[in-house]
Amino acid sequence: MHDDKAHYAPVNPVPAGLSGRCPRCGEGKLFDGFLALKPSCTNCGLNYDFADSGDGPAVFVIMIVGFIIVGLVLFVELSFQPPIWVHLILWLPLTVVLAGGTLRPLKGLMIALQYRHQAAEGRLDKPDET
């Protein structure tokens, strides 16, 4: 999973992940399309098979965007009491834009952190100890 790291200086996972760059070299692209991953890094050749962020990015998007949207909805409702169609026009598109805009950077960040901390599925024994 993690090949020889001696040739690569440590990459800060936050800017590399948020910008969708390779977690090992910080240069190659991580994504192929909007959320699909490339099979490997185009710069250093790191195999992205280890990358499995699961539902993690979606959970953070729900929490962060939900917090922002619900706060704004409550503020507008309590301050102006607009009709319901104003809420629909304001918050549905804003929710879609914010969720779509944050999902990819958060997925990149989670994969970069997964690589940095060598996170993987739990095992009862390590393969190289047997």
Q: Return the ∠ at Cα 104 (arms to 102 and 110), rounded to 5°.
A: 100
Tokens of 12: 């800060």
103 neighbors 61 (Cβ within 8 angstroms)? yes
Site for Zn ion contains 22 (CB under 5 A): yes
* Nearest residue (CB) to Zn ion, 26 versus 57: 26
The contact mask relative to Zn ion for 74-113 (x = CB under 5 A, - = no) is ----------------------------------------
**Residue 125 phi/psi, 5° resolution?**
-145, 150
3-class DSSP state for residue 107?
A: helix
CA 115 from centroid of its chain's CA atoms:
13
Contact region with Zn ion (CB under 5 A), list: 39-47, 58-66, 69-77, 103-111: 39-47
Most distant CA pair in the chain, distance: 67
Q: Looking at 29, 38, 40, 44, which residue binds Zn ion (CB under 5 A)? A: 44
Q: State the minimum distance, in angstroms, from the CB of residue 25 to Zn ion.
A: 3
| Chosen residue from 28, 51, 53, 108 binding Zn ion by CB under 5 A | 28
Q: Closer CB to Zn ion, residue 15 or residue 66? A: 15
**Residue 25 interacting with Zn ion (CB under 5 A):** yes
